[in-house]
Amino acid sequence: MFSSRSGFWPALPALILLLVFFLFPVVRMLGFSVEAGTLDWYAKALGEGLYLRVLWNTFEIALLVTLFCLLLGYPLGFLMATTTPFWATMGFIFVLLPLWTSVLVRTYAWMVLLGRNGVFNRMLMEAGITSDPIPLLHNFTGVLIGMVHVLLPYMVLPIYGAVRKVDPAIPAAAAGLGASNWRIFWRVWMPLTLNGVFAGCVLVFVLSLGFYITPALLGGGRVIMIAVLIEQQVREALNWPFAAALSAVLLAATFAVYTLAQRFTQPETAR
């Protein structure tokens, strides 16, 4: 008992910080949404097809982005954690580089690469692979590529950490006991790095939900995410109660998804 109580004090500054910079604004925001003493703004957010559809779209995009980040990020994080220090450093530089450039710059770079007359299409056409440019930009594909690029580091780093934490003797033991690489991966690596995978997925998913610059620029305007609508309510319509209600709905939905995901990825216990 004593030790748990004394363990509380060092965490106090962090708790106060969270309280002031996270909890207080959230409560304030929730306050805005019921300012008028009614739940009318919630009724509008949940009742009008537009907002539910955009919310659904947003989750769909976030889910896909998370999936692609996982598919790319797991092998990358795994390789970085198991290769020589030189290649690990190179990997880190390339993975972290996007974090040091602004989202806008990265997005414009993709526009240069993916456009009708962009680098990719010119290469494909010169190589004779296609005669007409492939639409990579100003559609869903463009949004996916751009967002996956921006968010990949958030997937790679926790997975890298999780892989590094596994005692290399454990997969070796599995191999010695007759497991093929495929089975070592699914029976040993996957469950032992699930924490990292979960952390990476949650990070990428939640960050995806708040995106709007990248989808607006790379999606040709067709891909609408909830953050765009919230921003419109804050900056254009000046309807803060409604913006708050939309944010609250997004927050609640995010928590729901998080809880669900946690339930599913609970590390397997005694069988």
Partner 1 sequence: MDTRKLNRRQAVALLGGAAALGAAGPAFGQAEPAKPAQLVVNHSGGSMGTAMRKAFFNGFEKKYGIKVVETSPVDFGKLRAMVDSGNVEWDLTEIGGQDAIRAGKANLLDKVDPKVVDRSKYPATAQNPFVFASSVYTTIIGYRTDVFKGGTQPKSWADWWDVKKFPGARSMRNHPTDNLEFALIADGVPKDKLYPIDFDRAFKKLDQIKPHVTVWWSTGQQPAQLLLDKEVVLATGWNGRFYDIIKKGAPVEIEWNEGALKQGSFAIPRGAKSPYWANKMLAELAIPQQQAVYASELGYPGLNLESLNFVDAKVKPYLPTNYLDKQFWISDEWYAENGTKAAELWNAWMLKKA
Partner 2 sequence: MAARGGSAELLIEGVGKRFGDVVALDHVSLSVAQGELLTILGPSGSGKTTLLKVVAGFETPDGGTVKVGGTDISALPPARRDIGMVFQNYALFPHLSVKANVAFPLEMRNVAKPETERRVAEALAMVELAGYEARLPKQLSGGQQQRVALARAIVFNPRLLLLDEPFGALDRKLRETMQLEVRRLQRRLGLTTIFITHDQEEALVLSDRIAVMNKGTIQQIATTTEIYERPANDFVADFVGESNIFHGTMSAPGAVTLDGGRTLVVRSDRQAGAKVGVLMRPERFASGGTNQFAGEVIESVYLGTSFKLRLACEGGLELLVRQPARGALPAAGAKVAVGIDPEAIHVF
Which residues contribute to the site for partner 2 (CB under 8 A)?
167, 169-170, 172-180, 183, 187-188, 191-192, 267-271
Asked if 74 and 197 count as a contact pair (C-beta separation under 8 A), the reply is: yes
And the tokens for 59? 């989750």
Query: Max Cα separation, the chain?
Result: 74
Quick one: what does residue 3 bind among partner 2, partner 1, none, with the CB cut-off 5 to 8 Å set by partner type?
Answer: none
Q: Are 195 and 211 in contact (CB under 8 A)?
A: no
Contact 28, 222 (CB under 8 A): no
Helical segments of 19-168, H only: 24-33, 40-47, 49-82, 85-96, 103-114, 119-126, 140-165
Binding to partner 1 by residue 216, rule CB under 8 A? yes
User: Could you say which of partner 2, partner 1, none residue 178 binds, taking C-beta under 5 to 8 angstroms by partner kind?
Assistant: partner 2
* Cβ–Cβ under 8 Å, residues 90 and 171: no
Q: Is 206 in the site for partner 1 (CB under 8 A)?
A: no
Nearest approach in angstroms of CB 270 to partner 2 is: 4
Do residues 235 and 152 make contact, with C-beta atoms less than 8 angstroms apart?
no
CB 143, min distance to partner 2, A:
37
In sequence order, which residues have a C-beta less than 8 Å from that of residue 72 and are 6 or more positions away? 148, 152, 155
| Residue 62, binding choice from partner 2, partner 1, none, Cβ under 5 to 8 Å by partner class | none
Should residue 210 be labelled a site residue for partner 1 when binding is judged by CB under 8 A?
Answer: no
* Residue 224 in contact with partner 1, rule: CB under 8 A: yes
Sole binder of partner 1 in the list 6, 84, 117, 269 (CB under 8 A): 117
Could you give the CA distance from residue 192 to residue 174 in angstroms, rounded to a whole number? 13
Given partner 2, partner 1, none, residue 132, with its beta carbon under 5 to 8 Å by kind, binds: none
Residue closer to partner 1, measured from CB, 189 or 212: 212
Q: Which is nearer to partner 2, 75 or 168 (CB)?
A: 168
Radius of gyration of the chain (CA): 22
- Residue choice 217, 225, 245, 249 for contact with partner 1 (CB under 8 A): 217
CB of 217 to partner 1, least distance (A): 7
Partner touching 175 among partner 2, partner 1, none, CB below 5 to 8 Å by kind: partner 2
Please give the C-alpha separations between residue 59 and each of 1, 62, 161, 202, 233, in angstroms, as whole numbers: 42, 5, 27, 12, 20
The residue (of 46 and 206) whose beta carbon lies closer to partner 1 is 46
Three-state DSSP at 55 gives helix
Of residues 137 and 197, the one with the C-beta less far from partner 1: 137
Applying CB under 8 A, the residues found at the interface with partner 1 are 48-50, 53-54, 57, 111-112, 115-118, 137-138, 216-217, 220-222, 224, 229, 232, 234-240
